[in-house]
Structure 1
Amino acid sequence: MPNLAGKILREKFMEVEGDIELDIRKFAREVSFVLARHKLRLEASRRDKLIIQTIGLLDEIDKFSNILIGMVREWYSTHFPELNRLVPDHQTYLKLIVDLGSRENFSLEGIKAAVKIPHEKAEKIMEAALSSLGAQFDELDTVTIQGSAREILHMYELREQVSRYIDEVMDQVAPNLRTVVGGPIGARLISLAGGLERLSKMPASTIQVLGAEKALFRALKTRARPPKHGVIYQYPEIRGAPRSMRGKIARALAGKIAIAARIDAMSGEFIGDKLATDLKTRIASIRSKEEGRKR
C-alpha cells in the first residue's frame, strides 16, 4: 500500500523534476569549472613546459645574435676588413672590438691581453692591422661599435645562462633522458615532441627522425631516400661516425631515448646510467662489426 510520502512525491513530481534538473545542471557546471581549474593548474605545474619555452627563447637568442653579429662584422669591416677573415669565431671577434676598438690599438700585447689565441695568429692580426686598407674611424664611430659589440656579448652570456637553466630543469624533469643523450639534445626532443608525455608515447622510429620532418616529407613526395636521423645527429657518436654507421647508431640511440622518456614520464625511476652503458656497448659492437667487414 503506497505511503503518504510516495503519494505527495507523485503529485509534486513535475515540480521536483524541474528542481532536480536545475540542480544537476548547476552541479555539472560547478564540476566543469573545478575540473578546468585543476587541468590548468596541472598544465602550469608541468615543468617540461618550461623546457619548451626556454628552448624557444634559446632559438630566438641565436637567431637575433646571428643577425646582429653579421651586421657588426660588416660595419667593422669598413674600418678593418682583414679581421673578418682572420677571426671566424664570433665571440673572439667581438672581444677584440670591445677591448681594442680602433685597429691602431691592435698591438701584439693588446691582442693577447684581450683574447686567448695562438701567438702566430696574434702576429697575423697585428700585421694586418698595420697594413689594413680600411677606412679611418673617428672616436664616435669606435665608441658606438664597441657598445654594440658589448651588447651582443651580453647576449652570448644570456645564452649560456639559459643553457645552464635548461640542463638543470632536464635533471629534474627527465634525468634518464638527460643521462642517455645529454641535456641540450634531450630538451630539444621534448620541445619538438610537444612535451615529455608525448615524447614517451612515440616509437623509436619517430624519435629517430624528430627535427627532420621537412626532409622526411620531401623524401616521401619524391621517393628519395628518407633521412636517417633528425636532431639526434648532434649526438657526438653519430656526428663523428662514418656515414655507413650513422643509421645503425641512430637506431640504437633512438631506442634508448624511447625507454628513457617512458620511464621519466611514467615511473620516475632512475636507470639512466644503465641505459647509457648499454648504449655504449651497442655502439662499440656496431663499430666492431663494421671494421670487421672492411677487413
Structure 2
Amino acid sequence: MEKEIESLYDFVKTMYGRRFKELELMVRDPLDYARLVKKIGNKMDLSEVSLEDLPAPTALAISMLFSIMDMPTLEESDLQRVLDACDRIIELTETRKEVLGFLESETSSAAPNLSAILGSSITAKLVEEAGGLASLASMPACNVKLLGREEIDDLLGFSSATVKNNGMGHVFECEIVQSTPPPLRKRACRLVCSKAALAARVDATTTINSTKGGEIGRALREEILKTINKWQERPLLKSATPLPVPRIGESKKKRGGRRYQAPYGRAQAGGLSLIVRVNRFVYTSRYGLKYDLENRSCSSTVVKAFVMELLICWPSSRAPGHVG
C-alpha cells in the first residue's frame, strides 16, 4: 500500500510539474499534495482556492510564486488522469489510516512485548513501515531507528532544524523518549531501539517461545527507565581526605638522616666503624667461633660480647686489632 501511494505520488508530480514545478518542493506530504492539486487544477487565480489547511509560510510562498510566474494549463485528458491519481492517493491514505487503527487495537495481542515498550500506536506504525512483524524482527536496531523518518535531501533552501523528530523515525515519538530531557533524547532513542529490536524478535517467535504475556517487554521497559534515570543522577563529589589530628607531646618516628646516623659515626676510626672492624677480627677459641670468610659476618652474640669486652676491659690506648 505504501509503495502504491509513492508510485502514484511520483506520477502526479511528473504530470503536474509541467504546470507548477515548485509545488512539490513546498508540499512534501502525498496527501496534502494530492488535495492541493485537486483544488488548483487549471485555475489561473488562487483567490478562489482555500489554503487554510497549509502552514502560513507555505501558503504565502505558494501565493507569491503563483502570482509572479506564468502558469501553463494542462490538457483535459492529462488533467483528468492527474485528478484520478489524486483521488486514488486520498483513498489509499484513508485505507491506510484504517489499517493502522486496526493494528493499534490488535498489537497488544500480536506483539505484547513490543507494545509494552513503545505503546500500541508506535508499534503499529513500525509494523506497517517494516512490512510485518517478521520483517521488523529481522532488522537491526540501527534500522529500526530510521523507520518513518522524514527525508531531508531537498528542503528548497529551508533550514534542516525544522525537520520532524530530528531526522529520527517513529520510535522518537514514543512516551519514554519524549519524557526524557531534550539533551538525552537521541541517546534514549538509541537505547529504546535496541530493546525494541529484542522485543520484536521475542514476539515474532511466540510459537516457539513460551512467554506470551509481555513479561519480557515490561522487564525491558523497567531496565530502560532505570538506565535513563541513572544518566540524570549527579556524580558523587570526591571528598578531600582530612589531615590527621596532631599529637602534642608525642615523639615522631625518626627517619634515617644525618642526625639519626651521627652516633654511629662517632665510633669510626681509620675510616671504618667499630662493628665493621670487629667483624674483620679472627676470633680465638675464647669465644668458640671464628670469622665467616664467605659471608664476611659472625653471630650477633659474639659481636656483642667482644665489643663489650673491648670497650670496658681493655685500655683505650690499645688498638682493637691486637688481641692478646
User: Normalising by the residue count of structure 2, what TM-score does the alignment of the two structures yield?
Assistant: 0.49
Q: How does 1:94-243 map to 2 (within 5 A)?
A: 94-107=34-47, 110-112=49-51, 116-181=53-118, 182-185=123-126, 188=130, 190-192=133-135, 210-212=138-140, 229-233=142-146, 234=169, 235-236=171-172
Shift of 1:263: 7.7
One-letter code aligned to 2:13: R
For 1:29-79, what per-residue CA distance to the aligned partner results, in whole angstroms no more than 9, with x for missing partners?
xxxxxxxxxxxxxxxxxxxxxxxxxxxxxxxx1112112211110110111
- Answer whether contact 1:176 1:261 (CA < 8 A) is retained: no
- Change in 2 beyond 3 A, CA 1:141/1:256: closer
Q: d(CA) in 1 for partners of 2:223 and 2:100? A: 25
Query: How many aligned positions are there?
Result: 199
- Answer whether contact 1:180 1:273 (CA < 8 A) is retained: yes
Q: Which residue of 2 aligns with 1:76?
A: 16
Shift of 1:104: 1.6
- Answer whether contact 1:98 1:147 (CA < 8 A) is retained: no
One-letter code aligned to 2:7: I
Shift of 1:258: 5.8
Q: Which runs of 5+ in 1 are unaligned?
A: 1-60, 194-206, 213-227
Q: Which residue of 1 aligns with 2:273?
A: none
- Change in 2 beyond 3 A, CA 1:263/1:288: farther
- Answer whether contact 2:27 2:33 (CA < 8 A) is retained: yes
Identity %: 15
Q: Which residue of 1 aligns with 2:228?
A: 284
- Answer whether contact 1:103 1:129 (CA < 8 A) is retained: no
- Answer whether contact 1:80 1:103 (CA < 8 A) is retained: no
Higher helix share: 1
- Answer whether contact 1:252 1:282 (CA < 8 A) is retained: no
Q: Secondary structure at the residue paired with 2:58?
A: helix
Q: Which runs of 5+ in 2 are unaligned?
A: 147-168, 236-324
Q: CA RMSD in A?
A: 3.8
One-letter code aligned to 2:125: P
Q: Secondary structure at the residue paired with 2:49?
A: helix
Q: Secondary structure at the residue paired with 2:222?
A: helix
Q: d(CA) in 2 for partners of 1:86 and 1:165? A: 32
Shift of 1:106: 2.4
One-letter code aligned to 2:92: M
Query: Whose RCO is larger (CA < 8 A, sep 6+)?
Result: 1
Shift of 1:123: 2.2
Which region of structure 1 is more displaced relative to structure 2, 164-173 or 279-288?
279-288
- Change in 2 beyond 3 A, CA 1:259/1:69: closer
Q: d(CA) in 1 for partners of 2:76 and 2:220? A: 56
- Change in 2 beyond 3 A, CA 1:168/1:127: same
For 1:203-231, what per-residue CA distance to the aligned partner results, in whole angstroms no more than 9, with x for missing partners?
xxxx6xx325xxxxxxxxxxxxxxx6332
Q: Which residue of 1 aligns with 2:258?
A: none
- Change in 2 beyond 3 A, CA 1:190/1:90: closer
One-letter code aligned to 1:166: L
Shift of 1:186: 5.5
Of the three residues 28, 49, 67, the one matched with 2:7 is 67
User: Normalising by the residue count of structure 1, what TM-score does the alignment of the two structures yield?
Assistant: 0.53
- Change in 2 beyond 3 A, CA 1:180/1:272: farther
Q: d(CA) in 2 for partners of 1:269 and 1:242? A: 29
Q: d(CA) in 2 for partners of 1:250 and 1:120? A: 34
Q: d(CA) in 2 for partners of 1:243 and 1:121? A: 29
- Answer whether contact 1:180 1:260 (CA < 8 A) is retained: no
